[in-house]
Chain A
């Protein structure tokens, strides 16, 4: 997904001369072909995120579509005010590509873990927040991004992610995709980003346990597709949201807000799986931390069954 995203910047630049690339301090030879072919539209600006965002804003004010890339924590936290004022207040078509969303950089510790990125970015007016589930879906997103008139935060996963999306499902920014099951299923699993893969395994395991489960994949966290959310969740007996990020103000919170606003007392039980309100204290691998935080497919199944409560044999 990561390589696809970056390569797509170059592909889009070939299609549209408004596209420019702005990096901070990435690896040697980064997008080298683009650099050689269109040096005026390739910028590597050093460890200076505030200036990078403001410069991208200035370019966008002049009609360009800048794709900005660095590590997710630095493109969200480090320059948060520039993101708010430069991009969102001016409502400019700048794309922020954040490497290592969630727990990808597990061995590097809390300075590099982008676990609150979704929570803080979704709070910003005009911001669009996207976390696709695999490389083919990334390609579809990048094509769609070219004409989207607002700033976008694109959360990248580790790369080499299992492919679970389907081309025939189409892709529209702001439109959720049912990846499994159907309206009326007992449990609605609702996820964003690569957690779709674990949820898919969980949905199939629930079916084997005699519980029908649908899976709604939100590649777009904001704007949230409330219509599809209600279609699948309103009739469900339990809703389980799954995200690789903090539960506080995160994706699950946005789902809960939307369901509560629409369903009121008819709200089914909603369980939000995610990370606690604490800095991670462990290292290891992304998968190890996901297990540690109860985000395995087995954990998702267990949470769904618990939310349903005792059921007749």
Chain B
């Protein structure tokens, strides 16, 4: 992390390997299909979802409702293009579907819907709902004595919502060791830098105070993510919070750390070309 112009900003030393670039190209394919999307919010998420789907979660693309799967809830639904890229990559639906993003008859909307997209656990988009779903699912797994785990991926701005902290109270009370909250802490929300709009610091202390075991990682460092997400629960009988320091727009130089790239509409072919070029 570094301070720039008095504002808390993110940096990451982690270079993007070919797998990370490939997933970003899939995300750009969807964004191009819809000529719009939450570009910055998508790019900060890629490594988090990559590691979860490549190394951590148990799932069956051919049987998305397999009871033995681990549940992943993308509570920051506006980052759905990153999720769509992973789901297409894993074969939950054909790659060509990405080209239909946000189009009238597409299954892929600007926020993900469980009834339409194979692999999407819950419909999200309105912020602050996912942690409570995860608590219900984690309690269900406990009642059924299943070993399945629940991961809830939230945005940093999302945690402004009071419902997140109601959920944090409940998860701590129930000692849900099968529940992990993953925070994509890119330090930028829609209106600007989180430190200016609604500061979350001291973010680690907050989650710890709600009885979570907390880890901090570079959210673009695949090895760090593997080490932490692959070893939850970090403390027995406690839920886990993983604070992922990320860069909004990561991998796309024109969008990195730029609040105005939170969402873009009316993307022209030239702009899309520029995004691809920046990635390479």
Contact = CB atoms under 8 A, between A and B. Distances in A.
Most buried by B among A55, A64, A81, A86: A55
Interface in B205-230: none
A55 B128 contact: no
A271 interface: no
Most buried by A among B114, B134, B137, B139: B139
Interface of B is mostly: helix
A51 B123 CA distance: 16
Interface string A54-85: 11111111111000000000000000011001
Contact of B129 (A43, A52, A56, A86): A86
A43 B162 CA distance: 21
Contacts of B144: 62
Interface of A is mostly: helix
A50 B128 CA distance: 9
Contact of A89 (B123, B141, B143): B123
A58 B126 contact: no
A86 B137 contact: no
A198 interface: no
A60 B126 contact: no
B136 A58 contact: yes
A51 B135 contact: yes
B170 interface: yes
Contacts of A46: 169-170
Given A55-B135, A86-B133, A61 B170 contact: no
B167 interface: yes
A48 B143 contact: no
A41 interface: yes
A61 to B, nearest CB: 6
A27 interface: no
Contact of B132 (A43, A62, A86, A90): A86
A57 to B, nearest CB: 6
B122 interface: yes
A54 B154 CA distance: 15
B121 interface: yes
A29 B280 CA distance: 64
30 contacts: A50-B132, A50-B166, A51-B131, A51-B163, A51-B166, A52-B132, A54-B133, A54-B135, A55-B133, A56-B136, A57-B132, A57-B133, A58-B133, A58-B135, A58-B136, A58-B140, A59-B137, A60-B136, A61-B121, A61-B136, A62-B136, A62-B137, A62-B144, A64-B140, A82-B129, A85-B126, A89-B123, A90-B114, A90-B115, A90-B122
Given A41-B143, A46-B170, A59-B137, 7 more contacts: A48-B169, A48-B170, A51-B135, A55-B135, A56-B136, A59-B140, A62-B140
Interface of B: 114-115, 121-123, 126, 128-129, 131-144, 162-163, 166-167, 169-170
